A and B are shown apart, each in its own frame.
Chain A
Amino acid sequence: MVLAEAQHVTVPRLLVESTLSGQAETPTQRHHAMADLFGLQRLLAGLSGDLERVESDAEVPRLLAAVRELVGRIDEAIDGLSPA
């Protein structure tokens, strides 16, 4: 019940999903993981937007490149998690 509460699903749904998914994560868990990744990506994207406005610092281009690379890698991670 605690687990169901944490995932914001009903107890029956948790039972069905865990049974059907076998050892792997439940669809709800994957959904949450995905939402977290998208949220993280949006956060980083916002950060890169902010960085673009700060031009005075020499560190900025390097940081920007790092952020962009990270955004790209999150994309890859999401694609990896996505159902075919």
Chain B
Amino acid sequence: MIPNITKGDRMAGLLVYLAGPGRYNDHVDPRVVAGDPTLTAWRTESALDRDGAFAVARHLERPRRAYGVERVWDGSVWHCSLAIKDVEGELSDEKWAAIAHDFADRMGLTSDDAPCRWVAVRHGASTNGHDHIHLVATRVADNGKIYDTYRDQPKSQRVARALERKHGLLRLESRTVNRGDRGYKPAEKARADRTASPEIDRTKLERTVRACAAASADEAEFVRRARGAGLRIRPRFAPGRKDVVVGYSVALRPPKGEKEVPFGGGRLAKDLTLPRLRADWPDTPEAASAAVAEWQAAHAGRRAVAPGRETSEPGPELWERHTVEVGELRERLREAPDDDPSLWAHVARDAAGAFAAWSNGTEESPGPLAATARTLASSAQLPAHMMRPRPAGLPSARGAAYLLATAVLGRGPSLQAMLLRELANLIKALHDAHQAMGEVQRAGQIAVAVRTQLPQVTAGLPLADAVRVADSEAETAARLAGQGQAPLKAPRTRPATETARPDRRTDGPGDKTIER
């Protein structure tokens, strides 16, 4: 369940909107499902029309008017929507009423110290099909005190987690394991629609930056690659300095009539901040000065200072070496502990970088490679404090990103197929690790990506059979994760390179239940 708090001053405006047809003409049968006792004692009917909305607003606002409170800092109207995922279906009004009462109680709206008047309105699912309610409260309590909104958003998340358990709702793994992706704002979506682009700018930026970072051997190369990929990348210098870079921002070249919107690295994804990127690059004085030179060139809009290996194409021996390296990483991970989120985040980031680089090189518009990269990147979104340095001597899949950044589909397809096979095995290991860590939804998303996205990639490559890594277990997880995918029709063959890991497997589908 996702709570979203907004605050304002226009109680009647809000309630009339909730009772009305909605912005997208999507409100169905607006009704009051719950409210505080003073409301339900007075109002017995549940349907909410325009007049009813005004009446309810008048009732909720009565304490504010009675005490002559003209303005409350941060808004006198507290509004929180509570939404569940579309795959959970629709709850009954009674269930929502119980959830609303619990939520209001635990958020302190009903405390004896400052009891606030509130109402919960429901009007069908959102345009994306997510069932939800709106909880509207006045912040002026019956005794004239003001409801304290200090840190109400973190609190609402904690309450939502508790209510998920209490009411048997789908639990948000992104929150419980602290692995949330960055969300997007309606304005970003509107811009994508306006410019008829297949995805929002930030998604494209994230993938491109991820690809450039993964394919680069040092920071200077990253800057050159990003500029070469057509990004407007700018350094953020330390205050008063022009030779110390502490961060960066990137933007796409805006189409005519649109403004350039830059995003800081950390706004694209948690693992794309400059300090986190630097952790993968050599930390030497030479590399640092080369990087500063490139950053300054980017800042001033000059040409790249010292073009490096990104301008040349890797030879077959490099393909072989880096492919073997991915295999070695996979081997090393067999002994790796499952309960090490940091390690697996590193692995996920490596793999996501490789697919992002491949997507950038070969896909005109975002396709299966981009989707796979995005799914894998979600596994790398640990907050900085949970990350530990990469274990020393751990092989890396970053060489693969380097190769794939220059790969052109159709050229050297057998080399690509071999590399893809190793990467697919790596994804499988990641999937298993998620499952061992109890993150069934995450594992399910990866399984879906493997089943639906990778076959589209392998179709163009030889050795297509070798990369079919999805097995019945992955399918079970995917189904349990509620992704609503159709079952596979073609029989799956286990790849020859895939070896079973009995220590990680649970016994059968019956053992895996979604955590509720």
Q: Which residues of A contact B (CB under 8 A)?
A: 31, 34-35, 38-39, 41-42, 44-46, 48-49, 67-68, 71-72, 75, 78-79, 81-83
Q: What is the predominant secondary structure among interface residues of chain B facing chain A? A: helix
Pair B62/A79 contact, Cβ less than 8 Å: yes
In the complex, besides A44-B41, A71-B41, 12 extra interface pairs with C-beta distance below 8 angstroms are: A31-B144, A34-B144, A42-B37, A45-B41, A45-B42, A48-B41, A49-B40, A49-B41, A67-B41, A79-B66, A82-B68, A83-B68
Tell which of B36, B42, B142 touches A72, judged by Cβ atoms closer than 8 Å: B42
Q: Mark B48-68, 1 if CB is under 8 A from A, else 0.
A: 000000000001001101111
| CB-based A-B contact count at 8 angstroms | 56
Q: How large is the interface on B (under 10, 10 to 19, 20 to 34, 35 or more residues)?
A: 10 to 19
A-B pairs with beta carbons under 8 Å apart, 24 shown: A34-B67, A34-B144, A35-B143, A38-B66, A41-B142, A42-B37, A42-B142, A44-B41, A45-B36, A45-B37, A45-B41, A45-B42, A48-B37, A48-B41, A49-B37, A49-B40, A68-B41, A68-B42, A72-B42, A81-B66, A82-B62, A82-B65, A82-B68, A83-B65
A35 and B41 form a contact (CB under 8 A): no
- Identify which of residues 488-515 in chain B touch chain A, using a CB-to-CB cut-off of 8 Å: none
Chain B residue numbers with a CB within 8 Å of A42 are 37-38, 115, 142
Residues A31 and B67 in contact, CB atoms below 8 Å apart: yes
Q: Are B143 and A38 in touch, CB under 8 angstroms?
A: yes
The smallest C-beta distance from A62 to any residue of chain B, in angstroms, reads: 15
The minimal Cβ–Cβ distance linking B16 to chain A, given in whole angstroms, is 21
Interface bits B139-180 vs A (CB < 8 Å: 1, else 0): 000111000000000000000000000000000000000000
- The answer on a CB contact under 8 Å between A39 and B37 is no
Q: Which of A35, A39, A48, A79 has the most CB of B within 10 A?
A: A35
Given A34-B67, A78-B66, A79-B62, decide whether A39 and B42 contact each other with a Cβ distance below 8 A: no
User: Is the Cβ of A38 less than 8 Å from the Cβ of B63?
Assistant: yes
Complex Cα spacing A38 to B65, Å: 13
Residues on the A chain within 8 Å of B144, using CB: 31, 34-35
- Taking a contact as CB atoms closer than 8 A, the residue among A45, A75, A78, A82 that contacts B40 in the complex is A45
Cβ-closest chain A residue relative to B68: A83
Cα-based distance from A77 to B142 in the complex (angstroms): 14
Chain B nearest CB from A6 CB (Å) reads: 17
Contacts of B66 in A (CB 8 A): 34, 38, 78-79, 81-82
Q: Are A71 and B143 in contact (CB under 8 A)?
A: no
A78 to B68, CA, bound (A): 12
Q: Considering the chains assembled together, what is the distance between the CA atoms of A77 and B141 in angstroms?
A: 18
B residues near A68, Cβ cutoff 8 Å: 41-42
Q: From residue A80, how far is it (CB to closest CB) to chain B in Å?
A: 10
Which residues of chain A have C-beta atoms less than 8 A from B42's C-beta?
A: 45, 68, 71-72, 75
Binding site for A on B (CB under 8 A): 36-38, 40-42, 59, 62-63, 65-68, 115, 142-144
A24–chain B nearest beta-carbon distance, Å: 15
B65 to chain A: which residues have CB within 8 Å?
A: 79, 82-83
Contacts of A75 in B (CB 8 A): 42, 59, 62
Closest-by-CB residue of A relative to B42 is A71
Residue from the set B37, B40, B67 with the largest chain A CB neighbour count within 10 Å: B37
Residue from A34, A46, A82 within 8 A of B37 (CB atoms): A46
Are B67 and A41 in contact (CB-based, < 8 A)? no
Residue among A34, A38, A44, A46 with max Cβ neighbours from chain B (10 Å): A38
Task: List 8 tightest A-B contacts by C-beta distance, closest first.
Answer: A38-B142, A45-B37, A45-B41, A48-B41, A45-B38, A35-B143, A83-B68, A82-B66
Contacts of B37 in A (CB 8 A): 42, 45-46, 48-49
Question: CA–CA, A48 to B41, complex, Å?
Answer: 6
Do A71 and B38 contact each other (CB < 8 Å), given the known contacts A35-B142, A39-B142, A79-B62? yes
Which residue of chain B has the shortest Cβ distance to A43 in the bound complex?
Answer: B37
Q: How far is the CA of A35 from the CA of B140 in the complex (A)?
A: 12
- For B40, list chain A residues within 8 Å (CB): 45, 48-49
Residues of B contacting A71 in the complex (Cβ-Cβ under 8 angstroms): 38, 41-42
Smallest Cβ-Cβ distance to B38: which chain A residue: A45
Docked CA distance A45–B142 (Å): 13
Q: Which residues from chain A contact B143 at a C-beta distance below 8 Å?
A: 35, 38-39
In the complex, chain A residues whose CB is within 8 Å of the CB of B59: 75
Give every chain A residue within 8 A of B36 (Cβ-Cβ): 45
Question: With the chains together, A34 CA to B41 CA distance in Å?
Answer: 19
Q: What CA separation (Å) do A39 and B40 show in the bound complex?
A: 16
B71 to chain A, nearest CB (A): 15
Chain B nearest CB, measured from A7 CB (Å): 14
Tell me, rounded to whole Å, the shortest Cβ–Cβ distance linking B147 to chain A: 14
Report how far A75 CA is from B42 CA in the complex, Å. Answer: 10
B-chain residues with CB within 8 Å of residue A78 when the two chains form the complex = 62, 66
Q: How far is the CA of A78 from the CA of B37 in the complex (A)?
A: 17
